[in-house]
Structure 1
C-alpha cells in the first residue's frame, strides 16, 4: 500500500509504503516519488556550453548548472529535454542525443535523470519560467567549466556528472 504524505506541484510526492526487502525483512519505507527529469548539455556552434545561473530557494543561493527540468506525468524524456531547453535557455536544438541516466538520490528518491547532448542550437524566445525560477543564461568553454568545478564554483551534482559523462563519451573535447 502506498500512502501520500505530502504532494508538491502535482508531480512530486513524499510517500510511505510497506515492503519486503530482499533479505525477507518487512519495513515501512518513505520515498520521494518523482516523475523523472531531463538534463541537457547544450553546445553552441562556437563549442561553448550554455549554462543556467539559477537562484535555488532551498539553498538560498545562486547555482551554475546545466539546464534541466522535471518531466510532466507520462512525458517522454526527449520531449521534456526539448521543452526544458527552450524554457530555460531560449534555445531549440536540431539534434538531441541521449547520453544515459543518473540516479541522483537512490537512498530516498526514485527520480531518474535522463541526460542529453543538444547541438544545432537556434535562438528562440524564452518561455516564462516557473514562479520559483530566476534564471540567467550564460555560455562557457569546457576549460572554464573545468576550472569552476575544481574551484568549487560549480557544486551541482547533476551538472558535474553530466559534464563528466559527456567527456568520457567523447562529446566534449
Structure 2
C-alpha cells in the first residue's frame, strides 16, 4: 500500500499565543483527498516531572484547567525554553510550581507527542527528580490557585491502576517511573 502524502503546504487557520490551528490537504493511496485539521503547540517541547521526596512521596499539583472546566490532579510540568537542557527545565519548573529544588535529576523517557488532533513540536521529556530541598514557588499568574500535594508512591500507583488520575501525561509518566525504578533495582 502506498503511503498518504500531503498536497501543498500546511495552512495556519488561526494563531494564538500558545498554538496554531493547521489545515493540511492529504491524498490517500486510492487518489481521494481529505482535509485534516490539527492543533500545533508552539515552543520546543516540555517536561513532565516525577519528583520523589525522601519519604518516597510523589509531588503532585492540583490546578484549574480551562479545557477540563475544573481542577485536576497532575504532576508538575512545563515548557522548554529554546535550547534548554530538559533536566534543568524540570528543576526550574518544579521550583516554580511546587517550591522544591532537586539536587539530582535523571531522564526517564523521551516522547514525541503526535496524537490525532495535537502536535507538540519538540520532545516531551519525563524526568525523575530527587534529593529535594524546599524553596519557594515562583508561579505564573494563571497558576496562583495551584495546590501542592505529596502522595505516597504506592498510592500514586494505585490511583493509576484504579483510573483515579485522568491526566494522560501524568498516567504515562507514573507508569514510566514505575518501570524505570523496577529496572534500576534489577540492574
Regarding TM over 0.5, the answer is: yes
TM-score (norm 2): 0.77
RMSD: 2.6
The structure that is strand-richer by fraction is: 2
Distance in structure 1 (CA, Å) of the matches to 2:105 and 2:27:
40
Instruction: Identify the residue that residue 29 of structure 1 maps to in structure 2.
Output: 36
Q: Return the match for 1:109 from 105, 109, 118.
A: 118
- 1:94-105 matches, cutoff 5 A: 94-105=103-114
Q: 1:98 to 1:63 in 2, by over 3 A?
A: same
- 1:17-166 matches, cutoff 5 A: 17-18=24-25, 23=29, 27-34=34-41, 35=43, 36-111=45-120, 112-131=123-142, 134-166=145-177
Q: Deviations over 1:56-111 (max 9, x none)?
A: 12112221111112234554433332221111111111122111123455212222
Counting matched residue pairs gives: 171
1:20 Cα offset (Å): 5.8
TM-score (norm 1): 0.83
1:133 Cα offset (Å): 5.7
Distance in structure 2 (CA, Å) of the matches to 1:169 and 1:24:
44
Distance in structure 1 (CA, Å) of the matches to 2:30 and 2:144:
44
Q: 1:61 to 1:126 in 2, by over 3 A?
A: same
1:27 Cα offset (Å): 4.9
Contact 1:43 1:49 in 2 (8 A): yes
For structure 2, list consecutive stretches of 5 or more residues without a partner in the other structure: 1-8
Q: Return the match for 1:4 from 9, 12, 34.
A: 12
Contact 1:104 1:158 in 2 (8 A): no
Distance in structure 1 (CA, Å) of the matches to 2:15 and 2:57:
38
Distance in structure 2 (CA, Å) of the matches to 1:73 and 1:47:
32
